[in-house]
Chains A and B, each alone.
Chain A
Amino acid sequence: MKVSAFRQYRALLRKDIVMELRTKEMVTSMGLYAMLVLIIYYVALSQAGQAFDVTRIAAGLLLLVVVFTSMLGLNRSLVHEQDQGQLEALLLAPVDRPIIFFAKATTNLLFLAIVEVIIVPFFLIFFVSGAVVPTGSTVAVSQSGPAWMTALALLIGSIGIAGVGTLLATMSVNTKGRDFILAVLFIPVMFPLLLVIVSALSAVLTGDAGYAQTFWKMCAIGAGYDAIMIAVAFALYEFILGV
């Protein structure tokens, strides 16, 4: 038997996708949760008044919904490996642990991306485009940067969230208060990336003078952070699994 890392990776990926298509557990719950957060934003901002420019805080609001939604997904991504000891079955197979990490991180990224594709247009319509703004709020539509820049910033953020989040979810999955533990570990570790991505998104969404320069600088820092943290996660995964 010749071991093919790609065949193992593909099998792990396909298994998670087939199960998600059947159960619709992760994407549905993440999507619904994200929509609920958007509704809460809408209510919270409805009395902000004339002088308040939502686009100034839109980047932060958008990242907040992405982070909370991703934490919900990350928690679930490993829980269904535990129902009947499936994680042990994976660990008993002759699979290098980093392959398990990459497969899990890829599915987490994929599911998060699907949810983002659904919620980001709603977010932009509700809070940036001015189509359905809360009563009395002011928006600055004409100054927003192109949509692909928003997508790129979100992609860099999502790669980091999925990569580091998969490692942290693996660490917390066997603990008693795993939801809480994941949040406690996730936010401090991800803080630099969150700061960088919110800056990049803010530059695009406000479209202030010189926004492109700020955007590319922040994206470069974010991509560097992703590369370093994913390399660290890759190296640590076997140790975290304990076998």
Chain B
Amino acid sequence: MSERTAAAIQVTDLVRSFGARKALDGLSFQLPAGAFLSIFGPNGAGKTTLLRILATLTAPSKGTAQVFGYDVVKDSVELRRRIGIISHNPLLYPDLSAAENLAFFADLYCLENPQARIDELLSAVELKHRRYDLVRTFSRGMTQRLSIARALLPEPDVLFLDEPYSGLDPHASDILDGLIRSVRDRYTFVMVSHDLDKGLELASDVLILARGKKVLYQQTADLDREAFRTLYRETVGLGVS
């Protein structure tokens, strides 16, 4: 791997409790700018909770998390201008057209010259010919492509991917793959996935979580993939706390 730059994400002793249960329990790690972190773990391991905290959607109970120096609690409004999220949920309005959806989010981000950016993104995700069609008429793959355009709209520094391949057919999955690869060098990525192959293929760093704790954090360049797979299988066996 090339030289590592300053931290894009800094997580320190992060705890998130839901009643008596700790979804995250003293998690710490540091991700450099431009890296692609894949987070693995069994259901209930705390992967989505971590992503939601980093995306300012959930507040931590204890500890701190910073994204490009912005605290997820204290600087949440400023931070939201610098992050994009692609989820298995498209986060789009089905009764608005593709262009209307993007124009709406462009207004929320107060983008200058939004029309040019919308045109550029619709071309990039190959939906320019469907710009006036309602999202409810789109296939799952098309909706997910538009969801990527929505996430890239404010030109974020970090992209969070929450099971982005979930529910996609192989063709749509390939298109999504191509889109992510085409912007791979421009952003820092954090992806939550159950798909080990896909996650490893894209990642520069991997994190395995179980019961809210870090089992492994490593750069893929130094990774023994077989040992990693074995560890992952054992971790999945740990299940939920």
Q: Which residue of B77, B81, B91, B100 contacts A88 across the interface (Cβ within 8 Å)?
A: B91
Interface membership of A4, Cβ < 8 A? yes
Cβ A84 vs Cβ B91 within 8 A: yes
Cβ A8 vs Cβ B108 within 8 A: yes
Cα–Cα, bound, A89→B80 (Å): 11
Q: Which residues of A lie under 8 Å from residue B59 when comparing CB positions?
A: 242-243
Q: Which residues of A lie under 8 Å from residue B154 when comparing CB positions?
A: 1
Interface membership of B92, Cβ < 8 A? yes
Knowing A1-B112, A15-B104, A88-B89, say if A94 contacts B94 (CB, 8 Å).
Answer: no
Knowing A84-B91, A92-B85, say if A19 contacts B109 (CB, 8 Å).
Answer: no
Which residues between 1 and 46 of chain A lie within 8 Å of chain B, taking CB atoms?
Answer: 1-4, 7-8, 10-12, 14-15, 18-19, 22-23
Contact with A along B65-104 (1 / 0, CB 8 A): 0000000000011101101010101111111100010001
Cα–Cα, bound, A18→B214 (Å): 46
A83 (CB) vs chain B CBs: closest residue: B94
Cβ B110 vs Cβ A3 within 8 A: yes
Q: Which residue of B83, B107, B111 contacts A92 across the interface (Cβ within 8 Å)?
A: B83
Cβ B108 vs Cβ A95 within 8 A: yes
Which of B58, B94, B110 is the most central at the interface, judged by chain A CB atoms within 10 Å of its CB?
B110
Interface membership of A93, Cβ < 8 A? yes
Knowing A18-B96, A19-B95, A84-B91, say if A94 contacts B57 (CB, 8 Å).
Answer: no
Interface membership of B228, Cβ < 8 A? no
Q: List 21 A-B contacts (CB under 8 A).
A: A2-B110, A8-B108, A14-B104, A23-B95, A83-B94, A84-B90, A84-B94, A85-B87, A85-B90, A85-B91, A86-B92, A88-B57, A88-B87, A88-B91, A89-B91, A89-B92, A91-B57, A92-B83, A93-B108, A94-B108, A243-B58
Where the two chains meet, the residues of A that have a C-beta atom closer than 8 Å to any C-beta of B are 1-4, 7-8, 10-12, 14-15, 18-19, 22-23, 83-86, 88-96, 242-243
Instruction: List 19 extra interface pairs beyond A85-B87, A243-B57, CB under 8 A.
Output: A3-B110, A7-B110, A10-B107, A11-B108, A12-B108, A19-B96, A84-B90, A84-B94, A89-B91, A91-B56, A92-B55, A92-B57, A92-B80, A93-B80, A94-B81, A94-B108, A96-B77, A242-B59, A243-B58
